[in-house]
Amino acid sequence: MEVIILKNAEKVAATGAKLVGELLRVRPAAVLGLATGSTQLALYQQLVERYRNNKISFRQVSSFNLDEYLGIAADNPQSYRAFMDREFFDQIDIDKQNTHLPYCEEGQNPILVGPAYEQKIIEAGGIDLQLVGIGANGHIGFNEPSSSLGSRTRVKTLTRQTFKDNSRLFSKTEFQPKLAITMGIATIMDARKILLLATGENKAGAVSKMVEGPVSAMCPASVLQMHQHVTVLLDETAASGLKNREYYDWTYLQNESLKKRFRVFHDD
Ligand code: F6R
């Protein structure tokens, strides 16, 4: 796991965008795994800016989002489909036919959505780079604490904490879903590379458990310790609970000089 601690949230988003850009330069038809949420929003803004400045193109890219709420229509502004269209897809040159979310149509059996989504990912050749955020309780996607580390895309019930954390985005009169369809932990682990972004003090506890705690289903993000190519981008506040900080900073300097010499994408 490569842990990179940056000055602030803006630098986290800019560095994330740079890494996505590096991948698309070598693999313009990459399959991206995407996430929603406030942390990713800053990254999408950076990517949109790069697209507007002709530094990056998504024309050949296809994408699979981590999750989607169950029980709200795709055209509901609160759906993750609407979030992705509004904040990212409608502002870049991606072909929207190639953008996927684990959406359950009205009347469709939600239990069937997961296996079909897994199949689509396989048919696309697997995910090259999966973007991930982390919940204050250590969730990735909507894999809440106690989720099986071997889980696949399926229906999950949000914890009360996640429901409460997300309530800031819903008005009092709006329906807020308690269920979602999420990629499983094993689905996320199948991605060839994983890029996790975390900013803000409320993530410090989850980040320290993920990086320095035991691998446990009670902190789903800790499973990333078992993945060969994970980069974690943190701002100072999200990194504030880490004990081994000095080593991560030292390693980052060594990796940067290696990259300059040998032009490797990144080292894990
Ligand atoms: C969203 C998702 C979630 C978020 C996490 C952090 O698609 O999968 O796991 O990444 O809840 O959300 P923010 O960035 O809003 O704190």
The residues near 149 (Cβ < 8 Å, ≥ 6 apart) are 185, 186, 215, 217, 220, 223
Residue 268 inside a domain? The answer is no
Predicted confidence (pLDDT) per residue in 21-67, tens digit = 999 999 999 999 999 999 999 999 999 999 999 999 999 999 999 99
Is 198 within the bounds of a domain? yes
CATH number of the domain that residue 161 is part of: 3.40.50.1360
Query: pTM of the full predicted structure?
Result: 0.95
pLDDT in tens, 144-154: 999 999 999 99
Q: Is residue 248 in a domain?
A: yes
Domain range spanning residue 52?
2-262
> Ligand 1 centre from 39 Cα, in Å?
7
List, chain by chain if needed, residues with CB within 6 Å of any ligand 1 atom. Answer: 35-39, 66-67, 133-135, 139-141
Q: Enumerate the active-site residues.
A: 67, 137, 139, 144
> Taking every pair of C-alpha atoms in the chain, what is the biggest distance, in angstroms?
57
Residue 224: inside a domain, yes or no?
yes
**Ligand 1 nearest-atom number relative to CA 182:** 8
Question: Can you say how many angstroms the Cα of residue 263 is from the centroid of all Cα atoms in its chain?
Answer: 25
> Could you tell me if residue 267 is inside a domain?
no
Q: What is the dihedral of CA 10, 181, 85, 73, to 10 degrees?
A: -140
Q: State the pLDDT confidence band at 264, using cuts at 50, 70 and 90.
A: low
> Which band of pLDDT confidence, cut at 50, 70 and 90, is reported for residue 265?
low
What does the alpha-carbon distance between residue 175 and residue 32 come to, in Å, rounded to a whole number? 30
Number of domains in the chain: 1
Residue 266: is its pLDDT beyond 90? no
Could you tell me if residue 49 is inside a domain?
Answer: yes
- Residue 268: which pLDDT band, with cuts at 50, 70 and 90? very low
